[in-house]
Chain A
């Protein structure tokens, strides 16, 4: 049973995740059924709300942007054999970096301010991931535990800073003052309007383009570069890496730095693209969704983009659905995410064996 399961590559990369996702949705449908709602009606509302209107599509792509970043963040660490479940904390710190940079440099013009904000996000996210990376590489502290602890440390830190230090004196709510207008990443509907094209207004902004570029660059890095090769070697066999002259400690730290910087993209999209201020809990658990996205997308950038789109549809459609059928709250998306993580991640072997079994069955007559 422990022998490697033989199957064609297309089946492994496409069929297995597809089967586990479909099963996840069937179970989600049962949950909907069990609380006395109709899963088919729910699905219709979900698809209509996320893809049926231009506005809905914009919101879907906005959420997808978040998920591409956190999905890539989990994937890069995953290739190095690391489980970075600290995306929440890294994105939170990235948000802090953005706020510190933008609100202290309000005199700069937009073409400088926007890149500075993005770099600050990447740097702060990377730094918050680098410490667990360093501790794993040099001191052998388990990355999963340290990143969990760093998530909580980040949330405690941000509450302290927003309540006591960064809050506007006259404001009651724990949030910073608005970022300078020049630093706001343009909304997609505004960009299209420059060219005389009218599209429905939504939160979707140019960060989507940055996310797609990041996905392409990560593909180049992981599959086409020397460093990416080193990362994959360390991920699959650290002992072999040492014999090949690769330092696992160095690669682990680099992978975590990259991972944290990518998680910072979530803060760029949410804060510079939409909220235009730093506020509490803007990460909304998306860091954990990134784990589902990366597992579903087989840690490949193309898979991650597709999985992000699916979760974008779920989040936007889920919001519309909660409006139409109040019994099905947005927590349904969390449930679906949990089932997908369970099926595509922890029970992966079960689904691989199932698919391999189905494929290896002799062709039946008439099939």
Chain B
């Protein structure tokens, strides 16, 4: 394998890891505040659809980004309302978000453009073109979100409170700080990040929206989040690793390794899921989620 192929693989690994990273950081914010979010997939999907539609209508990728983020925040707020205000089951709400997103984007896309749910192809200013080193600006925005997340969560008062609300909400409440307020802000930050990830998919990486174009990336991001043990820098590592596996799988298609023969692409595709299950089983290391994750906060108890 020469250096050219290596460079190609690393380059496409970066591209493939960006939507994972955006969704993974979104999940990190949400779950660190105690709100479990399996609706990352759905939020990226609505963002991808809204961003492509807006970019097409207004002829600007930036307007697309704005609408992508707004759509994702709207869905994040539904999740927030159900799980924070109504103290509903967060898993159920996440499943609902994913189904709603899959159905709505296909129906509305089909009704608007009549192309089986696709948006018309985007071109020129309707897309995010190359910014630096052949990557779009969204790549750098997402990468920048890693140190920002690390700093805000780990080094600021807001971050400390937000982490505390995910571990022991009663203590935060006793200190006179609003549990719901902190959780809502975390959920909205998650919405913004999923919005960036979804917009990247349809307006930067591809040139338009396809039904179900997230194709499980939201769930791989969830796996990466567990793999990173809910921390920002490891999240970057885990997402890049999973992106790299994806890139290698693409490169290895029909490629035969000496001595081993052809490696089935599916074996590499299965690795992120398999590694997550093994990690969760506590065979190597242990992934411990925030203590209050998934538990609605009830004041009077």
Query: Which residues of A are interface residues toward B (Cβ below 8 A)?
Result: 1-2, 31, 35-36, 83, 85, 135, 139-142, 144-146, 148-150, 152-153, 156-157, 159-160, 164, 288, 291-292, 295, 327-329, 331-339, 341-342, 345-350
Contact = CB atoms under 8 A, between A and B. Distances in A.
B103 A331 contact: yes
Given A139-B280, A156-B266, A346-B89, A338 B219 contact: no
Given A2-B301, A149-B223, A291 B267 contact: no
Interface of B: 38, 78, 82-83, 86-93, 95-104, 106-108, 110-112, 117, 211, 216, 219, 222-223, 226, 264, 266-267, 269-270, 273-274, 276-277, 280-282, 289, 298-301
B126 to A, nearest CB: 23
27 contacts: A35-B112, A83-B91, A135-B280, A141-B281, A148-B222, A149-B219, A149-B223, A149-B277, A152-B216, A153-B270, A153-B274, A156-B269, A159-B266, A160-B264, A288-B98, A292-B99, A331-B117, A335-B99, A335-B100, A337-B99, A338-B96, A338-B98, A342-B97, A345-B88, A345-B89, A346-B92, A350-B88
A149 B273 contact: yes
Smallest CB-CB A-B distances: 8 pairs: A338-B99, A334-B103, A335-B103, A346-B88, A338-B100, A345-B92, A346-B93, A141-B280
A5 to B, nearest CB: 12
A160 B269 CA distance: 11
Given A148-B222, A291-B92, A342 B107 contact: no
B107 A345 contact: no
Given A157-B270, A329-B110, A338-B100, A85 B88 contact: no
A347 B82 contact: yes
Given A139-B281, A152-B219, A341-B96, A349 B86 contact: yes
From A144, A291, A342, name the one whose CB has the most chain B CB atoms within 10 angstroms: A342
Contacts of A292: 99
Contacts of A140: 282
Helix, strand, loop or mixed for chain A's interface?
helix
A346 B82 contact: yes
Given A152-B216, A331-B103, A349-B86, A291 B277 contact: no
A332 B91 contact: no
A160 B267 CA distance: 8
A351 to B, nearest CB: 10
Contacts of A139: 280-282
A350 B86 contact: yes
Nearest to A327: B111
Given A153-B273, A159-B266, A164-B264, A345 B281 contact: no
Contacts of A142: 280, 289
B99 A334 contact: yes
A152 B108 CA distance: 27
A315 B171 CA distance: 48
Contacts of A329: 106-107, 110, 117
A337 B108 CA distance: 16
Contact of B266 (A160, A328, A342): A160
A164 B265 CA distance: 11
Contacts of A291: 92, 95
Nearest to A159: B266
Contact of A85 (B95, B264, B276, B282): B95
Given A148-B38, A341-B92, 6 more contacts: A145-B222, A156-B266, A335-B107, A339-B100, A342-B100, A348-B88
From A141, A157, A336, name the one whose CB has the most chain B CB atoms within 10 angstroms: A141
B100 A144 contact: no
Contacts of B277: 135, 141, 146, 149-150, 153
A144 B98 CA distance: 15
Given A331-B102, A339-B100, A342-B93, A31 B107 contact: yes
B280 to A, nearest CB: 4
A23 to B, nearest CB: 13
Contact of A135 (B104, B106, B281): B281
A1 B85 CA distance: 12
Contact of A327 (B86, B110, B211, B222): B110
A85 B95 CA distance: 9
Nearest to A336: B103
A104 B114 CA distance: 46
A120 to B, nearest CB: 23
Contact of B280 (A145, A157, A331): A145
A343 B110 CA distance: 26
Given A85-B91, A145-B280, A152-B219, A342 B96 contact: yes
